C-alpha cells in the first residue's frame, strides 16, 4: 500500500501530466520527477501563514525551472491556493496558471521564473535579506529560503555567481534542492557536461548531500538535517527519474525519455491514460485531489495556523519590549521613506553626476536604514562608495552593514537585487558601468515584469569614457534601456523609469524620483566627467530641477515663440547651453529642454507636452548615443545629432571634437537646420 507521501507525490504527477495534456503544451517530465521533494517540503516543512501569505517571516520557495510550473501549481493546489479548475486552465488566456510562474504571493508563487538560473539566484538575494533583517531585529525573525533547481539552471553561467556568493557569505538559511534527472530538453546531461556538481558546490563552501529523490525517508532526513546547519548553504542533490511513472499503452515504462521534457506525454510517445492509471488516477477524470492527500494537507494547514499563532505571539512580545525597533520594522515593510530633506543636500559645483550620486548616497546611508547598495567590483569608480564609506560590507556571519560587494558578476548581482526586492523590507540598489548593463538585461527585464523597485546605478554613461576605448564606451545602451520606458507592464505603466540627469542638482532629483518610485525598477545613468551646472532662471536650481518629475522641462527660455528648441539629456544639455550663447548672439530665439526621461515625458498630458515641445517649431536634439533616442520627440521638426558608430580610444575632450559634441558644433548644426 502506498504511503501518504507516495500518494501525495503521485497526485502531483497526475495533475502535472493532466495540465500539460489538456493544454497540449508544456513540460510534464521534470514535474513528475520532482514531485516527491516538493510534496514532502510543502506537507511537512515549509512554514507560512495560510491566512496571511505576506507574513514577512515565512519560509520562501523559489522555483528556478519555470517550465516545471505544473509541479508548483499542483502542490499549491493541494495546499489550497488553486482549484482543480485553475489547473485545467493551464496556459490559457486570463488564467491564474500561466505557462511559467508569475509572482503571485497570495497564491504562494514567490517569483517569476522561466529564464533558467535566475530563480535560485533570487533565492540568494532573499536569503541575504533575511540575514540583514535578523541582524537588526533578532533571530526571532529567522526563516528558511528554499530553492529548486534543475540541470539547466546548474549549467547556466549565473549559477557560478550565485553559488560563489552564497558559499562566501555562509548563507546557512539557504537550502537548494537540485533535481538531477540526467535529462534535458534536447539531449541527456551526459552529452553536454561531465562536471562533478557536488565537488563544485563544495569548493564554493556549500554543504552537499546526495540522495534518492524518490525515497521519502532520504528526502525527509536531508531536510531535517539541514535545519541545524549554521555555517554553510546546503545543496541537496536528488537523483530523480524524468517522467516518473510514465508508461506506454502496453504498460511498459516510458521513463527517462528526453521526449517527455517539453511536450504532452501522448505526443512524447507515452500513453496518457495508462500513465494516469499507473499512478492511481482516472485518465478520464484526472483533475482530482485524492481524499487522503487532501487530509494530509488539511492537517498541515492546521499545523501552519498553530505556527502562525505562535509566531505572532513572539512578535507581539518582542514589539512590547522593543517599541522603537518595532516601529522601525513596520516602517521597513511599509515601503514608506523616512523624512529626507532633499533640498538640503549640498552638491559640489560642476561635478560629474556619478560624484553627485555619491553625495546623495552618503546621505541615504544615514537616512534610509533599510537600503542595501551593491557594486560589481567598482564601488570606487561607480561611486557607490559614497554609501560604503558610511557602512560596512556583508561578510560571513556579519550582516550588520548594508553594502554588498558582489564581485565581477553583473547579472548575478542584478538578480540577487530582484530577490531582495521580492523578499521585502529592504530597498536594493546596484551599480556598475553603463556599458555592462548589457550583462544585466535579463534581470532588468524580469524586474520590470515583476514590478520590482530595484535601483540601477549606471555610470560612465557615454563615449566620454575616453581612453578605455570602444569596449567600455556605451553608444547603443541608452536606446536599449529606453525601450523599457516604452514597454508597458501588466498594469499599463511604463515598465521601467530611466533617468539621465543633466547636472549635479538634477542628480539629487533623480535619486528622489528613484526612491519614491515603488512600482517599477529605476535606471539612473551618470557621467564619468564633470558637467557644468545648468543655469537657474529663478535662482533656485533645485526647485527648477524638480520639474524632472515630468520627464522633460524647460531649462532656459526666450521671449515669445522660440526659433529653435534644443533638447538633450545628461551632459549634452550643458553642451546645448554653451552652444546657445553664440546662437543668441546671432539673434536666434532659443529654448533649451532637459529630457531626463523620455518615457515619463510622453506619459504627461498633451497640453504639457505641447507647452514644452510645441509642434511646428524647429528642434535640434543632441545625444551621445544612437539618434533614435530623441527622434521620437524631435520628429519632422528637425534632426538629432548622435553617434551611429562605436567609439574610439582617445581622451574624451578629443572625442568631443571629433564627434561633434561641442558648442561650435551645436551652433553650426542649428544654423544649418534654420537655413
The catalytic site residues sit at 410
Sheet with 522-525, strands from edge to edge, namely 403-405, 371-375, 427-433, 455-459, 522-525, 497-499
Number of residues in the chain: 675
| Four-point Cα dihedral 437, 123, 263, 24, nearest 10 | -90
Which three three-digit cell numbers place residue 499? 533617468
Q: What Rg, from alpha-carbon coordinates, does the chain have?
A: 28
Residue in this structure with the C-alpha cell 550588520, named with its chain if needed: 400
- What's the CA gap between 32 and 272, in Å, rounded? 13
Q: Are 620 and 592 in contact (CB under 8 A)?
A: no
Which three three-digit cell numbers place residue 225? 538535517
Q: Are 122 and 419 in contact (CB under 8 A)?
A: yes
Among left, alpha and beta (phi > 0; psi -120 to 50; other), residue 243 is left
- What's the CA gap between 597 and 613, in Å, rounded? 14
- What's the CA gap between 405 and 390, in Å, rounded? 14
- What's the CA gap between 670 and 572, in Å, rounded? 15
E strands, 263-420, are 371-375, 403-405
Beta bridge partners of 522: 455, 497
Beta bridge partners of 238: 179, 211
Helical segments of 335-425, H only = 353-367, 385-388, 410-423
SS3 41: helix
Amino acid at each position: 500500500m502506498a504511503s501518504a507521501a507516495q500518494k501525495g507525490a503521485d497526485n502531483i504527477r497526475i495533475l502535472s501530466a493532466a495540465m500539460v495534456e489538456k493544454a497540449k503544451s508544456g513540460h510534464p517530465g521534470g514535474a513528475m520527477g520532482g514531485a516527491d521533494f516538493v510534496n514532502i517540503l510543502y506537507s511537512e516543512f515549509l512554514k507560512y501563514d495560510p491566512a496571511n501569505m505576506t507574513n514577512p517571516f515565512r519560509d520562501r520557495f523559489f522555483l528556478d525551472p519555470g517550465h516545471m510550473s505544473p509541479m508548483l501549481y499542483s502542490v499549491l493546489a493541494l495546499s489550497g491556493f488553486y482549484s482543480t479548475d485553475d489547473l485545467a486552465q493551464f496556459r490559457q488566456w486570463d488564467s491564474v496558471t500561466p505557462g511559467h510562474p508569475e509572482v503571485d504571493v497570495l497564491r504562494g508563487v514567490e517569483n517569476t521564473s522561466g529564464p533558467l538560473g535566475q530563480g535560485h539566484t533570487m533565492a540568494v538575494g532573499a536569503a541575504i535579506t533575511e540575514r540583514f533583517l535578523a541582524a537588526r531585529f533578532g533571530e526571532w525573525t529567522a526563516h528558511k529560503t528554499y530553492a529548486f533547481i534543475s540541470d539547466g539552471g546548474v549549467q547556466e553561467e549565473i549559477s557560478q555567481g550565485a553559488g560563489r556568493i552564497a558559499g562566501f557569505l555562509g548563507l546557512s538559511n539557504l537550502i537548494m534542492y537540485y533535481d538531477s534527472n540526467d535529462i534535458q530538453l534536447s539531449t541527456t546531461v551526459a552529452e553536454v557536461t561531465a562536471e562533478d556538481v557536488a565537488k563544485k558546490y563544495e569548493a564554493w563552501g556549500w554543504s552537499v548531500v546526495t540522495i534518492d529523490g524518490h525515497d521519502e525517508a532520504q528526502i525527509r532526513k536531508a531536510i531535517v538535517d539541514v535545519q541545524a546547519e549554521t555555517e554553510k548553504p546546503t545543496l541537496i542533490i536528488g537523483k530523480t527519474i524524468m517522467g516518473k511513472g510514465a508508461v506506454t499503452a502496453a504498460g511498459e515504462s516510458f521513463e527517462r525519455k528526453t521526449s517527455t521534457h517539453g511536450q504532452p506525454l501522448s505526443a512524447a510517445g507515452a500513453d496518457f491514460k495508462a500513465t494516469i492509471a499507473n499512478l492511481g488516477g482516472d485518465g478520464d477524470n484526472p483533475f482530482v485531489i485524492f481524499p487522503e492527500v487532501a487530509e494530509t494537507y488539511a492537517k498541515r494547514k492546521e499545523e501552519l495556523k498553530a505556527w502562525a499563532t505562535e509566531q505572532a505571539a513572539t512578535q507581539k512580545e518582542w514589539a512590547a519590549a522593543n517599541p522603537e525597533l518595532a516601529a522601525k520594522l513596520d516602517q521597513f515593510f511599509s515601503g514608506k521613506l523616512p523624512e529626507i530633506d532633499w533640498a538640503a543636500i549640498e552638491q559640489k559645483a560642476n561635478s560629474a553626476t556619478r560624484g553627485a550620486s555619491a553625495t546623495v548616497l552618503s546621505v541615504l546611508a544615514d537616512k534610509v536604514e533599510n537600503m542595501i547598495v551593491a557594486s560589481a567590483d567598482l564601488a570606487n569608480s561607480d561611486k557607490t562608495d559614497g554609501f560604503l564609506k558610511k557602512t560596512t560590507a556583508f561578510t560571513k556571519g556579519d550582516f550588520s552593514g548594508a553594502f554588498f560587494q558582489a564581485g565581477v558578476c553583473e547579472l548575478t548581482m542584478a538578480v540577487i537585487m530582484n530577490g531582495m526586492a521580492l523578499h521585502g523590507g529592504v530597498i536594493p540598489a546596484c551599480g556598475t558601468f553603463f556599458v555592462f548593463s548589457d550583462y544585466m538585461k535579463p534581470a532588468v527585464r524580469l524586474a520590470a515584469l515583476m514590478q520590482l523597485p530595484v535601483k540601477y546605478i549606471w555610470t560612465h554613461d557615454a563615449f566620454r569614457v575616453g581612453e578605455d576605448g570602444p569596449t567600455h564606451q556605451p553608444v547603443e545602451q541608452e536606446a536599449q534601456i529606453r525601450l523599457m520606458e516604452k514597454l508597458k507592464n501588466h498594469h499599463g505603466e511604463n515598465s521601467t523609469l530611466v533617468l539621465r540627469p543633466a547636472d549635479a542638482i538634477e542628480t539629487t532629483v533623480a535619486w528622489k524620483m528613484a526612491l519614491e518610485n515603488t512600482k517599477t525598477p529605476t535606471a539612473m545613468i551618470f557621467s564619468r566627467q564633470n558637467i557644468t551646472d545648468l543655469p537657474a532662471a529663478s535662482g533656485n536650481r533645485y526647485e527648477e530641477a524638480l520639474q524632472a518629475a515630468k520627464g522633460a522641462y524647460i531649462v532656459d527660455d526666450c521671449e515669445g515663440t522660440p526659433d529653435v528648441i534644443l533638447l538633450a539629456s545628461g551632459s549634452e544639455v550643458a553642451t546645448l547651453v554653451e552652444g546657445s550663447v553664440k546662437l543668441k548672439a546671432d539673434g536666434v530665439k532659443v529654448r533649451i529642454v532637459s529630457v531626463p526621461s523620455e518615457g515619463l515625458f510622453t506619459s504627461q498630458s498633451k497640453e504639457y507636452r505641447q507647452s514644452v515641445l510645441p509642434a511646428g517649431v524647429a528642434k535640434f536634439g543632441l545625444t551621445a548615443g544612437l539618434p533614435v533616442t530623441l527622434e521620437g520627440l524631435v520628429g519632422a521638426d528637425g534632426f538629432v545629432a548622435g553617434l551611429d558608430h562605436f567609439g574610439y580610444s582617445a581622451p574624451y575632450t578629443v572625442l568631443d571634437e571629433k564627434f561633434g559634441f561641442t558648442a561650435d558644433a551645436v551652433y553650426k548644426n542649428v544654423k544649418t537646420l534654420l537655413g
